Structure 1
């Protein structure tokens, strides 16, 4: 305590005198000595303090050259950094362009392929439509040709029937042959009717020939059937149509007879026209083969 009081008294006296003696460097704190040395205020013992540095220091040629070299180095480093950044940017841009071009080519190929497929499907659809239309047209033409052939064949057969029908007039022109034919036709019709009493109808022009042929036909029927001759009556009230005149399109009869029972329930038409129709229906395949080679 006494020492502390003495130290305080000495500091008070110094403060009264207005000055403090400098503290030797060796007795200064370590941190203070470091700060002083860094600021250039403290020189080692026996050495001169270093020359001042900074703005206030004098600029020597060596320092000027060092400063110029430092500026050149800085500019060189900046240029290298700039070139490096520019090169990196160019490489990145090139990579982006290459990637974009690849994506563009891929997208373009996909679009082209998609459009090709669409065009191919459209072409196949139209081709199928055209083929279907061709088949339909071909089938239509074939059917039309077949119908024309059938019509032509029918017309040919009809012409043959017309020619055969025209020849029937020559049969009735020969009275002797036609009389024998009337006997056969009447007997055949009686066989179909097979009644004990029958009536015979004929054309008005054939009345005399039929009246003469009826008894002969009854006797022929009786011999073939092994029975008594039937009672035969020639109908003189209802005659068959006359032969067709040129240009006439109504009902006609080329000749022959119609035999029926007395009550008219059983009828057998055995005229030349009916016989020609039966021959046509029966022999139609033969007629077609003869005419068309089928």
Structure 2
């Protein structure tokens, strides 16, 4: 399954959510890949630590290859790096992504990531894609490549107003490029259970019928510690309350949909 974590607003926790959900998948024994499309490279540094300074081959090298004609096309695995954590790999980001953005867009390489990740379907049980805080070539590539979209929401009025335009953008990608894409849910982040405004904003989203996921993710200094140590929460503090919320959220996102009852089974249930 391929998931994209997407929001055009910066600072909503995309990289933290991506890496922690992916790390939980890996800790549960599923081979997992993180694709870091944000030139800032926060997911890359979160998972590789100081190893990110060595500029491992990654997403920029993959896209650079798409701009060239070569007799020998490198295997996609050539652009993937192992992390220090079992079952967890990363396609590292690079600031070079900014430089090639225009070329990729003008030469219409928008489907290349989708085709490449589809080839990895036998190698990885889950693929998690982190995106830049903008609706640009890389974000569109991710939405076209993914099967499920997760939207972080950080409980303020600006985020709520931006949410509707964001959902329209996802729907446009669905209609024009990727009919398999579904909005798997809105992830409430930095939730303050004792504050009135966050509760009000989240309840309004629920009342509007939007797919708000539970549990909500609160704020914790443990997250900043995990960033500094380059260790996702499931590795750093597996019994911490926020870690357990991430585990429960991962289960809510990845559980298979309930089967639609047939007429016969519905009668049996009623009887």
Query: Structure 1-normalised TM-score?
Result: 0.21
Per residue, is there more strand in 1 or in 2? 2
Per residue, is there more helix in 1 or in 2? 1
Computing the radius of gyration from Cα coordinates, the structure with the larger value is 1
User: Which of the pair has the greater relative contact order for Cα pairs under 8 Å at 6+ separation?
Assistant: 2
